[in-house]
Structure 1
Amino acid sequence: MSALLEDFADGYAQRGIRLDGFQVEACRALLAGRDVLVAAPTGSGKTVVAHFAVELALAAGRRCVYTAPIKALSNQKYAELAGRYGEETVGLLTGDTAVNRDAPVLVVTTEVVRNMLFANAPEIDEVGCVVLDEVHYLADRERGPVWEEVVLALPEPVRLVSLSATIANVDELAAWMGSVHGRTEVVTSEVRPVPLVQHVCTGRRLVALHGRGSEPSKALVSALQGLGGDPRARLGNRDRRRIISLLEERDMLPAIEFIFSRKGCDQAVSALVRGDVTLTNRDEQAAIRRRLRDLRGRLGESDLRAIGFHAVSAALLRGYGAHHAGMHPALKELAETLMSDGLLRIVYATGTLALGIDMPVRSVVVESLRRWDGDGFADLTATEYTQLIGRAGRRGKDDVGHAVVVGTAETDPYELAALGSGKVESLLSAFFPSYNTVVSLLAEQPYSRARAMMGRSFAQYQRNADLGRIEARLARIRRRIALEARELRCDRGDVVEYVRARAASGRAAKSSRKEAKRAYRARIADSFAGARNGVVYAVNREGELDYVLVLSGGRERLRVLDWYGEASWLREGDLRSELREAASVPIPQGRSLRERPVREDLADAIAQAVEERTELGVDRDLLEPWSRFAVREDDALLAHPCASCRHIGEHVRAAETLLSLDARERELTELAEGCTDSVGREFDSTAGVLRDLGILQGEGEATRLGPGAAALRALHVENDLLAYRCLTDLREGELDAAGFAGWASMFLGDDRLAGGLPHGRLGALARRALADADFLRDVEARHGLDRTREPVTRCVDVFSEWGSGAGLDACLRGSRMSAGDFVNAARRLIDLLGQMAAAGEGTWIGPLAREARTRTRRKEVM
């Protein structure tokens, strides 16, 4: 161990902390000049590796850049590092904040370091190490592409430290990083410093989730079976008070309770206040009151009313509060601080608290395993669940952490046990080359080199792996097609040729379609009547392909078990296809199918028996409508020698598997073509749009930047091309600074700002922006892209008034937004106005955008 690492470890030892094996392994890899990718559970101490990277860079006289995916996490890391190394050593750069930008340690959002790299900023020459915290966010649709661009553009001598929660395909991610930047050491840990115990709350009891291994405990299975009531009913106030009592009795507070609804969080807190529930003592209340007094002094009385300060403070004084994106950031940060200082007992939160914010507690309660994803309710993924419960257990304070899921009558103990097993999903790249990315790359390098960089993205790396799997599957399908073709014979001629021509013959006459429908209903009836016990059948059930094992039955109904282990009754009327015999599976004798393990074993046997059929898609044709059997018998088809065979109906039926495999081959061939050089082709399409607009000129290696490219290069928003076009369409004198701020809010891409049009001149400009969006979508469609979104126009007037000095309370009423949403939008608007000032540098737009930014950047939102 080097002297630097020894001194580093001794510093922790003096605080009573001994470095774990994975931390030492990662630090040694950095000393050896290698990049590291650390994947470990939440709270395991990954930040220790980042701290060593900082000290390694400082010791070499180099700078260290620490990146985080969101501003709140950047602020938290800045405070942490400034406390450790001194404020003079650490700087902060986010879209709307700049503190000590020349410091040797710089905390930035990922977009900032990406822009430095793409602009070949001279500061990069001084950097010895870049830390990518929460690197698993490269799977995020909005944030993810920036992570990949940082890895792709980072100079090879700069060491890269990537920190991630546990991910399933960590070796794949590390292999990609190694291929594009340099040897990357994978350091993983499955061990939590504070062990985690998982429970399920069933009424007034806490029951252990797991029994042996990853199986649910017998006590849990029994307890859930005994639950009654409406399984869809939401938790009430009495239920939440009961949960607090349960946790308090077992010394399991403080806790975070995840509700996944802003309104639900607020209502839970209000109910406790109305019930005069108090969880703090007099000394704790005095400490909380001092913090509240500090915050109160920073805001005016009208602003305090607007953000609900008095209601929030009443709850915090009693030892509980809410935490969600709709709250004013100052109130959220206060809740985080109070919880970290041990002054709160419970916080009701939405899932945003799991996004890397450091607020560990003794226990985490998960009220529901479903959450709102913006479009509808979706089941929690294993990764999301693991992140949520990862907050439980405070290092140095707790011997054990607790995760509690609230059970209902519909909770499946086996599914929950699998969710809590620690197995998480693979990380999938969300990368695509944006318009800004394309012009930024082409400003610094020739077309072929820029395109090649896109081909080295993690997205293409994964698609290349997919291509290998697709081609292997295609080879198997083609072998099976050849086998099926050899089995088909007709004395009259080439029956394979005939059935393929028949399948491609087009829509049949109405009379033929009616006859085909009648004949297929008869086939369904015959297959149902002929179903045999112990046989697995493929069937279209409710529009999905299912494989069911017939257990018993008679003329009216069949008792079946599907390949998910669920038993049900099947009637002829439930079928949308015939029952197609697929395999045989013996039904165990002397064992009750009421027992879940027995059904699970049978389900595994069904899945194994039909594995090749599902891999090759043999039975996918059952999902197609019956009308596929009605064909248009044109002259060419009638003239085929096989058309006159008296057994042709039997031949056609025997060829159904062949035709189904033909369809799968076509699908997979198209998929393979889509994977090949897909990111490079998307780069070409993006460049094609920019050429049509004159932003790029020339083809291939002769491509050069056209007028306006520099302005587009300065814009780093999701709707970058629309923002650019509308900015260049503006005419001098159309807007004052306040109006410019309101106008710019259209390009924030926040659905909460979508809605009606503004008034007067701003309304005319909004309609112009809508027309520009339509025009750009037409251009994109010619190149096979779908990028440009509608401008969001509902709060243009409100942000214009904000820029004119209107109060926070008035703007919240006018926008119909929560305080947190408004402040977050205002902060992003400040960032965007700075980008627009850079885009308009040297023109009248630059000074106007800077003044608009100054007017928007008020203390109430900072």
Structure 2
Amino acid sequence: MSDPDRFAARYAHPLDDFQDAGITALHEGRSVLVAAPTGAGKTVVGEYGVWRALDRGRRCFYTTPIKALSNQKYGDLCREHGEGRVGLLTGDHSINGDAPVVVMTTEVLRNMLYERSRALDGLDTVVLDEVHYLADRERGAVWEETIVQLAADVQLACLSATVSNAEEFGAWLAATRDGCDVVISERRPVPLAHHYAVNDRIEPIFKAGKQGGQGRKGAKAAREAAAAEARGGVPNPDLVMLERRAQQRGRRGRGPGGGTKLLPPRRSDLVASLRERRWLPAIVFVFSRAGCDGAVGQLVGDGVRLTSKEEREEIRAIVDDRAADLERADLDVLDFGPWREALAHGIASHHAGMVPLFRETVEELFVRGLVKVCFATETLALGINMPARTVVIERLEKWDGQQHVLLSPGQFTQLTGRAGRRGLDERGHAVVLHQRDVDFTTVASLVGRRVEPLISRFQPSYNMAVNLLRRHDRAGAEQLLEASFAQWQARNRVVDDEARIERNREALEGYAENLVSDYGDFPDYWGLRRELSRLEKAGAKARREARQRAITEALADLAPGEVVRPPGRRDDTPVAVVRVIWTKSGTPLAEAVTTDRKLVRLGPRELDGPPERVGRVPLPHAGGPRQPAYRKQVANALRQVETAPRVGSPGDAGNGDTLPETDAEEAERQARIAELRESIGEHPVHHDPARSEIEVWAHRYDELERDTAKIERRVARHTHSLVDTFRRIVGVLGDHGYLDGPQEAPRPTDDGLALAALHLEADLLLAECLRAGLLTDLDPAELAAVASVFVHETRMKDPPPVASPTARVDEVLDAIDERWQRLSEHEQAAGLPVTREPDPGFVEVVHRWARGAHLDAALDGSELTPGDFVRGTKRVADLLRQLRDADTGLASPSQAAHRAIVRGVVAADL
């Protein structure tokens, strides 16, 4: 019996064709990329890689993108092969690391490769689970670093969700690994039916008979609906007509009393309907943490009870066991009691704002079938194994940081992919609730198999550069960068551009034949015209910039209580300034109250010129501008202000067509413009009767030349973009003393080796601060607080000012800011992205926690949820581990700081 047959015999059911194909590739010594929908069973191919390595007496690494998946997979493999043969390596855990099979995060393997760890000896296979994380903006580069540096004789089993360019990704893997089979499956093992819930109805999105429960008629209708969907059938005409009638009657002014208003069902009614249809357990996606928690409260308040007495007892026992090590005071802050009781009734939420211990408990209970309804944000759709019978999507629009945008078909497919449990369900169900702002046909258009392409986010970093140059000369390091998927995609993109450039150059030669005048030198004449146009545009731009500067300076100078006229607004009647705020980019915005009690925001985009001061009003001592009573009092005072007749604004010099005569640059520009106009008028070609026809060709020539130059710049940028960035990085590192030696083979200095051990976005900034000794002479709480500025990123758009917990911390933060300023100036000069500014938003909270405060005291006055706090503290703890393990002279203080913060709810997840 062959190896694949022996492996397949371990399963109670025959393997799918795509699983056989993936296993065959590994058996025959090739790497493989398996792209299949969520729940299709692609991990079977990875498990064959593990089984085969063990069978051959060699080693296998099983990598995952996140710690939770590593823990989950470690448990699965221990049950399959025994704890003695399986190890776990994450940032938090090190269990049996010398075992023949080791589960780890991808970052751990990347670091092994840089260190040339002996653990790589005898490595047979690496399973890269969820390899589509390569597209992750923050962490995707790790996958490419790993793939291009693994020894050629190591086989890869790459497991991915379906992506539209799997063939392209597979072709790169084949070129990088000396061959790679691409196995694609678009078939879901459990078919999925899509439904639309409106008022008290749940109807199929594609019409196929009346939808019922799980009986024979209901099953037949579901099969017909799925068939209609697969054929690309039209949206359910009954729902289209229902929506159309509601819109028509709404325009006629008929209210809900007529029964025509369409609404999403109440949550408790929806859950009751799902329960009646036997469609539980269900995951309900709500794109808001507060919305998830509020939904749980609503169901509990409505008396929804989904568990039996025996299930409730089992749930409470599991929850109490998981929370046994937490202090009662911290549990009170986490609202443990209400959370426990909601779980006992089969209702839960799942989002990043929860502490990890709570999230993992929900996951365990859901997998056991004890949680029947889970309200979750979209983060649940990534990686964690929580399949459901039904997925419900409450809204199809989500906030992208700037505005509410419609889900893409790929995002919709990813969310609904959780529906349908293999071996448990004949069919999965996806239910979209009625959308007030999205018409039904748009909802139907999202249903299908369209998925997003896999786009590389790979970019060299300072840390990557010094690590590559530890092991390679410059040419070797650049060769590895050229082998990345990012560069592969870039080269593929320029093929069409290069052909277009060639076509454009041929067309330009033809255009040039028409740029001839019998009256004189047309290129000379057109050169004068070009220069005149450039100067006139430059003058207009300078005037706009001067006007913007004047507006910005005037806004920054406003004080609360001042009354101004805002030029440029449709209504330029006076308004009363109540406060001036600043955007992250440093732009001042004035918030003001109008005479009709509205709160308006005045910024450079809303004004044609600087606001004109015309008076002052007293502001209320209590309340704020968001409160109607506050605005009413301000508006009443504003109406009493006596304003002088409008005679001009202090900024008028900056918002017209002229600038002060003292502006020497503008005066010189105007003189040259006058000279050019005279030369043009005197040029012989200016009097050619055919000039207008020749100018048509000249304009075409200029436009095509500009377009061609733009494409050429794009080609140049893409052709060797990563290597160019790498060379700039090497230049900055050399200037700062992190690299030394000959240009063709620079080597890291001692400071460079310390930088090589720092894996974070602000790696060079931290290295600069360490070299300057800024983190020495700090007690453990102060060190943890200062370390947080390098890894924390405030979620708030306009965070409030932060107070330093001690004078020493304040002094250090000022010094860090100074070094960031110098570094950012150097990066700008080198043409590199600027390192993110240090963020002190977590300093005070982590300092309190490190000093031993209870959770409620640590979070006092902050906007952080407990989940955000735990996640942020773990990032600080990870950085402290790096400082402990790197040669920075901070091993003992970092260890003490690490012990101070890894306790309570933070330690519960480690």
Normalised by the length of structure 2, the TM-score is 0.77
Kept after mapping to 1: 8 A contact 2:8/2:15: yes
What are the within-5 Å matches in structure 2 for residues 662-673 of structure 1?
A: 662-673=705-716
Instruction: Write the letter of the residue equivalent to 1:831.
Output: D
Return closer, same or farther for 1:227/1:720 CA change in 2, 3 Å cut-off: farther
Shift of 1:815: 4.1
What are the within-5 Å matches in structure 2 for residues 72-83 of structure 1?
A: 72-83=68-79
Look up the SS of the partner of 1:718 in the other structure.
coil
The answer as to 2:156 corresponding to 1:156 is no
CA deviations 1:717-767 (Å, max 9, x no partner) are 111111211222225852122221222111114234975242321111111
Q: Which position in structure 2 is the counterpart of 1:614?
A: none
Shift of 1:838: 1.7
In structure 2, C-alpha distance between the alignment counterparts of 1:300 and 1:462, rounded to whole Å: 52
Look up the SS of the partner of 1:701 in the other structure.
coil
Kept after mapping to 2: 8 A contact 1:22/1:188: yes
Kept after mapping to 1: 8 A contact 2:205/2:236: no
Instruction: Write the letter of the residue equivalent to 2:738.
Output: I
Q: Which position in structure 1 is the counterpart of 2:171?
A: 175
What are the within-5 Å matches in structure 2 for residues 481-500 of structure 1?
A: 481-485=508-512, 492=519, 499=526
CA deviations 1:411-440 (Å, max 9, x no partner) are 244544443221112111100111111101
Kept after mapping to 2: 8 A contact 1:500/1:659: no
Instruction: Write the letter of the residue equivalent to 2:741.
Output: G
Return closer, same or farther for 1:332/1:733 CA change in 2, 3 Å cut-off: closer
Q: Give the counterpart of 2:783 among 740, 747, 752.
A: 740
Q: Give the counterpart of 1:222 among 210, 232, 241.
A: 241
The answer as to 2:874 corresponding to 1:806 is no
Instruction: Write the letter of the residue equivalent to 2:867.
Output: G
What are the within-5 Å matches in structure 2 for residues 73-472 of structure 1?
A: 73-210=69-206, 211=228, 213-219=231-237, 220-228=239-247, 239-472=266-499
Kept after mapping to 1: 8 A contact 2:282/2:390: yes
CA deviations 1:794-825 (Å, max 9, x no partner) are 22232223223222232233543111111111
In structure 1, C-alpha distance between the alignment counterparts of 2:902 and 2:37, rounded to whole Å: 38
In structure 1, C-alpha distance between the alignment counterparts of 2:508 and 2:444, rounded to whole Å: 41
Q: Which position in structure 1 is the counterpart of 2:40?
A: 44
Q: Which position in structure 1 is the counterpart of 2:8?
A: 9
Instruction: Write the letter of the residue equivalent to 2:859.
Output: L
Kept after mapping to 2: 8 A contact 1:306/1:812: no
Return closer, same or farther for 1:4/1:787 CA change in 2, 3 Å cut-off: farther
**Aligned-CA RMSD value:** 2.6
Instruction: Write the letter of the residue equivalent to 1:196.
Output: L
What are the within-5 Å matches in structure 2 for residues 691-730 of structure 1?
A: 691-730=734-773
Kept after mapping to 1: 8 A contact 2:296/2:349: yes
Q: Which position in structure 2 is the counterpart of 1:564?
A: none
Return closer, same or farther for 1:235/1:217 CA change in 2, 3 Å cut-off: closer
What are the within-5 Å matches in structure 2 for residues 718-797 of structure 1?
A: 718-730=761-773, 734-752=777-795, 756-759=802-805, 760-797=807-844
What are the within-5 Å matches in structure 2 for residues 536-685 of structure 1?
A: 633-634=676-677, 637-638=680-681, 640-649=683-692, 651-653=694-696, 656-685=699-728
Unaligned runs of 5+ in 2: 207-227, 252-260, 541-672
Identity of aligned residues (%): 41
Instruction: Write the letter of the residue equivalent to 2:707.
Output: R
The answer as to 2:856 corresponding to 1:857 is no
In structure 2, C-alpha distance between the alignment counterparts of 1:776 and 1:287, rounded to whole Å: 57
CA deviations 1:429-472 (Å, max 9, x no partner) are 10011111110111111111111111111111111111112111
In structure 2, C-alpha distance between the alignment counterparts of 1:738 and 1:114, rounded to whole Å: 31
In structure 2, C-alpha distance between the alignment counterparts of 1:19 and 1:131, rounded to whole Å: 19
Q: Which position in structure 2 is the counterpart of 1:828?
A: 875
In structure 1, C-alpha distance between the alignment counterparts of 2:309 and 2:263, rounded to whole Å: 29
Shift of 1:131: 0.9
Shift of 1:82: 1.9
Instruction: Write the letter of the residue equivalent to 2:817.
Output: L
In structure 1, C-alpha distance between the alignment counterparts of 2:338 and 2:730, rounded to whole Å: 53
Shift of 1:839: 1.7
Shift of 1:289: 1.5
Return closer, same or farther for 1:399/1:834 CA change in 2, 3 Å cut-off: same
Kept after mapping to 2: 8 A contact 1:237/1:271: no
Instruction: Write the letter of the residue equivalent to 1:346.
Output: V
Return closer, same or farther for 1:388/1:634 CA change in 2, 3 Å cut-off: same
In structure 2, C-alpha distance between the alignment counterparts of 1:382 and 1:337, rounded to whole Å: 30
Return closer, same or farther for 1:125/1:61 CA change in 2, 3 Å cut-off: same
Return closer, same or farther for 1:744/1:650 CA change in 2, 3 Å cut-off: same
Instruction: Write the letter of the residue equivalent to 1:153.
Output: Q
CA deviations 1:381-435 (Å, max 9, x no partner) are 2222211110000001100011122232532445444432211121111001111
Return closer, same or farther for 1:331/1:506 CA change in 2, 3 Å cut-off: same
CA deviations 1:307-361 (Å, max 9, x no partner) are 2211211211121111000001111111111111111221111011011110000
Range moving further from structure 2, 272-281 or 391-400 = 272-281
Range moving further from structure 2, 39-48 or 827-836 = 827-836
In structure 2, C-alpha distance between the alignment counterparts of 1:347 and 1:60, rounded to whole Å: 43
Shift of 1:107: 1.2
Instruction: Write the letter of the residue equivalent to 2:235.
Output: S
Return closer, same or farther for 1:255/1:509 CA change in 2, 3 Å cut-off: closer
Q: Which position in structure 2 is the counterpart of 1:530?
A: none
Look up the SS of the partner of 2:147 in the other structure.
helix
Kept after mapping to 2: 8 A contact 1:711/1:838: no
Shift of 1:250: 2.6
Return closer, same or farther for 1:637/1:765 CA change in 2, 3 Å cut-off: same
In structure 2, C-alpha distance between the alignment counterparts of 1:326 and 1:79, rounded to whole Å: 26
In structure 2, C-alpha distance between the alignment counterparts of 1:339 and 1:93, rounded to whole Å: 26
Shift of 1:647: 4.9
Q: Which position in structure 1 is the counterpart of 2:863?
A: 816
Return closer, same or farther for 1:509/1:76 CA change in 2, 3 Å cut-off: closer
In structure 2, C-alpha distance between the alignment counterparts of 1:155 and 1:161, rounded to whole Å: 14
Shift of 1:837: 1.0
In structure 1, C-alpha distance between the alignment counterparts of 2:695 and 2:236, rounded to whole Å: 53
Range moving further from structure 2, 815-824 or 455-464 = 815-824
In structure 2, C-alpha distance between the alignment counterparts of 1:198 and 1:803, rounded to whole Å: 50
Kept after mapping to 2: 8 A contact 1:326/1:820: yes
Range moving further from structure 2, 405-414 or 662-671 = 405-414
Kept after mapping to 1: 8 A contact 2:775/2:783: no
Look up the SS of the partner of 2:108 in the other structure.
helix
Look up the SS of the partner of 2:840 in the other structure.
coil
Instruction: Write the letter of the residue equivalent to 1:438.
Output: A
Q: Which position in structure 1 is the counterpart of 2:585?
A: none
In structure 2, C-alpha distance between the alignment counterparts of 1:705 and 1:741, rounded to whole Å: 28
Instruction: Write the letter of the residue equivalent to 1:23.
Output: Q
